[in-house]
Amino acid sequence: MPSLHDFLLAVGFYTRLPCPATLDYQRLPFACAYLPLIGWLVGGFSASVFWVALQIWPQDIAIVIALIAGILLTGAFHEDGFADVCDGFCGGYDKQRILDIMKDSHIGVYGALGLLLLLLLKFKLLAGLPAQVPASALLAGHSVSRWFPLYLMFRYDYARTQPSKSSGAVFKPDAKTLALVGIPALLPFALLPPQALISLIPMMLITLGLGRYFHRHIGGYTGDCLGAGQQVAEVVFYLFLSAIWTWS
């Protein structure tokens, strides 16, 4: 059952916003179902910052400020996962080595380069859109991209056998929950052209590919894998949205 308590848990875990200290963190796994709503929160904040900044500076500057705002709100939660996956899977030679590298708090060359290129691609794609589009793109991108990690949790098992920073949030949604959570994830698409819905196809395909890759190398997923999945799905969405305006 939906509850304000579980939503606040999600806010406290996936963002830097303060939440009541009395929350029951034993229910943290159930908070994962609110990931698309966290996307509303982060995307809405980033979009608002973009709109305000656009009244003062050129669009490219406003995009950079909006990206910074989103990163500050989440504490780079998913970006950190993406960088760890780049380091782990590029630098590891077996399951245990990959897991050890991803657990290391230091960032390596692969992670630094991957994160740099990812952020550069986001910036270029959003800056290339008409000025009235990036706000809606940020809201939809943050929301729908947070549905795809839930699919990985539905399809695969958690790979680690020892406790980690994300093991307390391990969740196994059923098909009904996955479908219901998809509704708020898709609502922001109402602000975009109908053809934007086609972006769900490449986003699902890349998620399926990542899931198979993770499963083959480490036998499932970790929290870092989920973060990487969200980041990749988000940038694929921006890629497709950019293509709509390029070819229309």
Structure tokens at 115: 């994160």
pLDDT band at 153 (very low <50, low <70, confident <90, very high): very high
Number of domains in the chain: 1
Quickly state the pLDDT bin for 20 (edges 50, 70, 90). confident
> How confident is the model at residue 105, as a pLDDT?
86
Say if residue 1's pLDDT is above 80. no
Please report whether residue 65 resides in a domain: yes
CB-based contacts of 226, cutoff 8 Å, min separation 6: 78, 81, 149, 152, 153, 166
Q: Which helix (H) or strand (E) holds 54?
A: helix 35-54
Mean pLDDT in residue range 57-84: 97
The pLDDT, as a whole number, for residue 83 is 97
The first and second tokens of residue 35, run together, are 């990931």
Q: Determine the Cα–Cα distance for residues 151 and 132; give it in Å rounded to an integer.
A: 31
Domain that holds residue 74: 35-247
Q: Decide if 239 is inside a domain.
A: yes
- Per the domain annotation, does 9 fall within a domain? no
Tell me what the mean pLDDT of segment 59-88 comes to: 97
Per-residue pLDDT tens digits for 170-226: 778 889 999 999 999 999 999 999 999 999 999 999 999 999 999 999 999 999 999
Kindly tell me the sign of the dihedral angle through the C-alpha atoms of 17, 23, 28, 30: negative
Assess if residue 81 is contained within a domain.
yes
Query: What b/e readout covers 30-42, taking b as 16+ CB neighbours within 10 angstroms?
Result: bbbbbbbbbbbbb
